[in-house]
Structure 1
């Protein structure tokens, strides 16, 4: 194999590694974006559920008390 052929193979290998690095970088960005979206969705869910708890506390129906307990438990689980 000539020096030129070796150089071409080396350059192709470097390009391939760069492509893999770019793909991995995109995957990391995508994962970070998903984690951010997940955090935002959790925050919105907590706001909505806390609003439900606030409204339900004014209701004297016993089933609402159970619902409040369930929602509060769910909120604690989200925090973990």
Structure 2
């Protein structure tokens, strides 16, 4: 098997025309997904700003402790 082997255009067209995916997200799903992305991004940005201005070396320890706690909760 060659790593440079490619599919023919006809085969790609045939595979593209016979897909089984269907749209399942509604407008409310898309809006809530966008809001979640905005909130999730702002959490990380604000944490970095607060850490740069006010936190000391204990911040790394608290992130490690939170990560270990989340790992235990994930495994439960």
Query: Normalized against structure 2, the TM-score is what?
Result: 0.38
Larger Rg: 1
